Amino acid sequence: MRLSLVGLSHKTAGVELRERASLPAEVVPDKLRALASQQGVLEALLLSTCNRSELYVGSNGCTDITMPAVFASLHECSPDLFKGHLYLLEGPDVVRHIFRVSAGVESMVFGETEIVGQLKQAIEVARGAGTASTVLTRLGERALAVGKRVRTETCVDRGCMSVASVAVDLAKQVFDRLDKARILLLGAGETGELVARRMVENGAVHFVVASRTESRAAQLAERFGAEAIGFDEFPEALKRSDIVISCTSSPRPLITVDRVKAAGAGHRHGPLFLVDLAVPRDVEPAVGQLNDVYLYDIDDLEDLARECEEQRRCELPKVDAIVDEETRAFLQWTASLQAVPLMNALRERAEAIRSREVERMLAAAPDLAPRERKALEVASKRIVHKILHDPLNGLREIAGNGNASEGLEIAQKLFGIDLCSLPEQDDLGSNGGDGHE
């Protein structure tokens, strides 16, 4: 299987473009299934976070797939929109990249841990949609294991500031004591929970949680001693808030200029401090132009995050050593899979020949007894098995060496088998388990 990756991240695109590349969670399964139905595409996985949107594709290598066009089609827009902002990776580079992503060294906040949960969710979505099977499932699971190993064997996350904790630390630069600040947390998902925990750890006492899912808001509020309100009550809560941290999945801004102006009349004293962690953004950019309003979006957090990265970046050589080792191991496994389609095709051809010849023989000798017919069937299968034994073992050995592609191409010509003309196989590890460890 040929592995390909196309994507953009905070390193290649600003928040406006990342917003355009953000897909609502509920549409992702259907999008992946539509993609996987295209000719040549065997597997597909989408990793979509606030800071990156990456499409991983496994193809049969027989059909040319223009990855930027596929990415644009997935987001229903022109390829020109993302031109100059996408990165394209193939083969080993795809494996190495996803391992580094899981380790947190490709994140906006170096070494952060939220990406592990986001990657795990992406794998589950793709598996649920039926678009991640043998290779991408294995790749995702190994990436999660690599992320865990990196954090166990290195200090890459020592003193790590996640996006959530960066937001809280930024708030502390404006409000010396969080126990005096009135805080509104808009959104009760994973990021919201991380923000709430960090707030409590830093002395926050007075904060309110609002979420479209009221049960989640209530659970989060109970866990951290906060007050939960209905989502439609948050405009009123703005009037009583000093700090607003928003991290919902709304497709359009929730905190508008008009709403902030309306809230200003009920604001008792001091500035209104907003941190927008959402992509797409929850707060209209123009809100930041209002008097006594300070707005920071997710891109604004990058400078603050860099201040604590230098020490952790010293661990990068150790991380790269682990990633390189794990990449070699994964590539060795995928190399073994390259022989499976050819081995299956060779078996099927041999079985077809055997079956036809047995039928001819039985037609020529219609008086054979059932016992004799069965003996002929068993003997012919044994002959085929013995003839194929050495060639199949040879294919396994070819797949395990450093020139698997070249060797298997020669084997295809030798046996007269064109894999590109065969039906696509979704599970390269099927038929007896060949290719698995």
The stretch 303-325 carries a mean pLDDT of 82
Which pLDDT value is given to residue 89?
A: 96
* Cα separation, 208 vs 242, whole angstroms: 11
Task: Reply yes or no on whether the pLDDT at 192 is more than 90.
Answer: no
Task: Reply yes or no on whether the pLDDT at 171 is more than 90.
Answer: no
**For residue 311, with 0-12 CB atoms within 10 Å meaning exposed, 13-18 middle and 19 or more buried, which class applies?**
exposed
CATH topology match: 2-159 vs 163-306? no
Lowest mean pLDDT among 183-192, 340-349, 353-362, 406-415: 406-415
The stretch 163-171 carries a mean pLDDT of 77
This model's pTM is above 0.75: no
Q: Bigger pLDDT: 301 or 220?
A: 220
The stretch 390-409 carries a mean pLDDT of 73
Q: Which of the following is catalytic: 50, 160, 247, 308?
A: 50
Which pLDDT value is given to residue 93?
A: 96
Catalytic annotation present for 308: no
Superfamily, domain 163-306: NAD(P)-binding Rossmann-like Domain (3.40.50.720)
The contacts found for 287-291 with CB under 8 angstroms, 24 or more apart, are: 287/255, 287/256, 287/257, 287/260, 290/257, 290/260, 290/261, 290/264
3-class SS of residue 304:
helix
pLDDT tens for 255-288 read 999 999 888 765 556 789 998 988 889 999 999 9
Average pLDDT for the chain: 85
The answer to whether residues 411 and 341 touch, using CB atoms and an 8 Å cutoff, is no
Residue-range domain boundaries for the chain: 2-159, 163-306, 337-421
Topology annotation, domain 2-159:
Beta Polymerase; domain 2 (3.30.460)
The answer to whether residues 76 and 303 touch, using CB atoms and an 8 Å cutoff, is no
Which pLDDT value is given to residue 101?
A: 96
* Cα separation, 21 vs 49, whole angstroms: 10
Which pLDDT value is given to residue 258?
A: 92
Which pLDDT value is given to residue 126?
A: 96
* Cα separation, 10 vs 50, whole angstroms: 9
Which pLDDT value is given to residue 433?
A: 39
pLDDT tens for 335-371 read 777 777 788 888 888 888 999 999 998 998 888 899 9
Task: Reply yes or no on whether the pLDDT at 2 is more than 80.
Answer: yes
User: Which residue is associated with the tokens 């990855």?
Assistant: 67
